[in-house]
Each structure stands twice: as structure tokens, then as C-alpha cells.
Amino acid sequence: GTGSKTLAVGENTISLLVKAEDTNVTKTYRVVVTRAEASTNVNLADLKVDGVTVTGFNKNTNEYTLTPVAANKSSINITATAEDTTATITGTGTKTLSTGNNSFDVVVKAQDGTTINTYTINVKRLSNDALLKSLSVTSNPSGSLVPSLASGTVESPYTVGPNVTEV
């Protein structure tokens, strides 16, 4: 036969009939085409942050928490290598860090187009904010902060009565 042939997974036999020009002689040829099944491998072979393999990396572990990073570190670079080169990986590249907790997903999709596996990287960016958010002082009877302690102020008097010996 001529033209395209649809292939199923596994063995496919394609027959070709050849006829001589000047006779009724024909000969049939068979070609057996074996189509492999699409891979379902969604494992990573390696997972790196800033060029270094994540501590304790194991292809069967899907979540990693990194050591907190300094406040002046504004980004990390995530790279990943799949066990199967036919798999696709998303979620890699340079990631901007917010102050506090950050979470990034690296998703591996198998060649079959439906099987997926997600690896999560958690990293905390430390804060360099040393400003006081609030302050409460208690005593019996209560005293008062006058004026109240405001952000950026490093000292504020707290006045109590003569019988208060503890705050």
C-alpha cells in the first residue's frame, strides 16, 4: 500500500504489493513497525538552586525547605534535569523572593502528555526590618505611654503611680 499508515502502540504490520510492469507477477512485502509506548516517567534526576543540588535531593521526595536566605538576596535560580529526556519541565528559572515565606513549583510532564509530578521548593527570605510594630506595657494600676511609641521612635516614657513596683 501507499500513503500514511496509522500506528498503534506495539507491532504494526504493513503490507506492500509490488506488480511487475510487463507481467501479472506480483510480490507482497511486509514491514513490521514497532511503535513504543509513550513514557510516563516524571522523575527528576537533579534539582538545583543557584547551581547547587538541593540538600537531600531524592527523586521520590516532592517538597524541600531551604535554609532561610538573607534579606539582601532578592532572587534564586532554579534548574532541574528530568530522568527521561522526553519529559518537559516548567517552573525553572530566576524566581523573585519576597520577604517571608516563598514557595515555587517545578512541574515535570511525561512524554504521554498527561502524567505529571510536582516538586515544591520552600525558601524564607529574612527581613531586615527592625522597626517596632507595637508595644504594650502592663502594670497594676496601669500607666500610660505618653506619647505613644511610634514607628521610628526608639524611646518613650511610661509613667506609673508611686505604688507600682513592677511592669
- N-to-C CA span, the chain: 97
> Is the pLDDT assigned to residue 166 strictly greater than 80?
no
User: CA–CA separation, 125 vs 96, rounded Å?
Assistant: 10
**Closest of 56, 166, 73 to residue 121, by C-alpha:** 56
Average pLDDT value for residue range 131-152: 63
In degrees, to the nearest 5, what angle opens at C-alpha 8 toward C-alphas 5 and 12? 65
Name the average pLDDT for the chain: 88
| pLDDT tier, 122 (very low <50, low <70, confident <90, very high otherwise) | very high
> Is the pLDDT assigned to residue 146 strictly greater than 60?
no
Look at 153 and 69; give whichever has higher pLDDT: 69
What predicted TM-score, i.e. pTM, was given to this entire model?
A: 0.69
Digit-coded pLDDT (tens) for 44-89: 999 999 999 999 999 999 999 999 999 999 999 999 999 999 999 9
